[in-house]
């Protein structure tokens, strides 16, 4: 079993949620909506590169855009290996938390 980092998991989930509309800005916005934190594009693209190397996402070139001076926008789509990895990490999270009561805010445990 190969586990992914938390940042890889968060970005892979954002790509999955965006379903074919995933590129830098929407990925960043999705992460902000999901975890309430602002991530830099550097962190996002570095992690996307790792996910591509693992075969979890595909990078797809879009059509040239006039507002970008004719440059293409690159989209990311989750691969079947990426879906398998997400299912595995979900299984691991459930297994780890099995038997542990949900944490409560403000109460100390012994």
pLDDT digits (tens, 9 = 90+) for 82-97: 999 999 999 999 999 8
Is residue 76 a contact partner of residue 17, using CB atoms and an 8 Å limit?
Answer: no
Looking at residue 3, the DSSP 8-state letter turns out to be P
> Beta partners for 78?
57
> For residue 59, what pLDDT is reported?
96
pLDDT (tens digit, 9 = 90+) per residue, 10-60? Answer: 999 999 999 989 999 999 999 999 999 999 999 999 999 999 999 999 999
6-94: CATH topology = Arc Repressor Mutant, subunit A (1.10.10)
Question: 102: pLDDT confidence band, cut at 50, 70 and 90?
Answer: confident
pTM for the predicted model, two decimal places: 0.84
């Amino acid at each position: 079993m190969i586990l992914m980092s938390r940042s890889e998991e968060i970005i892979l989930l954002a790509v999955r949620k965006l379903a074919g509309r995933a590129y830098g800005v929407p990925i960043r916005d999705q992460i902000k909506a999901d975890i309430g934190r602002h991530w830099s594009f550097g962190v996002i693209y570095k992690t996307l590169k790792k996910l591509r190397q693992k075969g979890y996402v595909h990078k797809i070139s879009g059509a040239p855009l006039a507002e970008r001076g004719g440059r293409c926008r690159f989209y990311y789509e989750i691969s079947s290996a990426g879906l398998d990895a997400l299912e595995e990490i979900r299984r691991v999270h459930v297994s780890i938390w099995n038997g542990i009561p949900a944490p409560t805010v403000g109460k100390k445990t012994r």
